[in-house]
Amino acid sequence: MKINVSIIKGIIGAFLDTLLKMAVVALLVMYTIRFAHTAYEFGFRLFTEEPVAEAPGLDVKVTIPKGSNARDIGKILEERGLINDANLFFVQELISDYRGKLAAGTYTLNTSWTPDQMMAEMAGEEAEEAEKTEGK
């Protein structure tokens, strides 16, 4: 019985082609799952972000320079240990009632405050008001 080499090469080529396609699909599925998980966590934290410390927390004096936007403020707060994620703070400010209202100045913020309470303070509103609106 004579074995045709071209048929064997064709079978091996088809097998390798299928194997490569399966590997690509597996990678796409893995990265899609990873992205979906990360997006879900970010979205969940967007509305349920907890303070970095339990009450009574620590008072931290923070100076927000003139011309700072929400992204800059988030970086300052993260560096000072008041929030966990500057990017999350930026998006929270975008969808909050305080959008564009955060003012430059020196503030005493507490590590037991939520980002919403900190935004209320920096927007010139009382922290107690922020607590009331969070309870809704």
Domain range list for the chain: 1-48, 59-134
Would you place residue 136 in the very low, low, confident or very high pLDDT band (cuts 50, 70, 90)?
very low
User: Tell me: domain 59-134, CATH 3.40.50.300, correct?
Assistant: no
> Could you report the per-residue pLDDT of 1-48, keeping only the tens digit for each?
677 888 888 899 999 999 999 999 999 999 999 999 999 999 999 999
96-111: average pLDDT: 94
Q: Residue 131 — very low, low, confident or very high, per pLDDT cuts 50/70/90?
A: very low
CA distance 61 to 81: 11
Which pLDDT score is estimated for 1? 63
Q: What is the pLDDT of residues 35-88, one digit of tens each?
A: 999 999 999 999 999 999 998 999 999 999 999 999 999 999 999 999 999 999
pTM of the predicted model as reported, rounded to 2 decimal places: 0.73
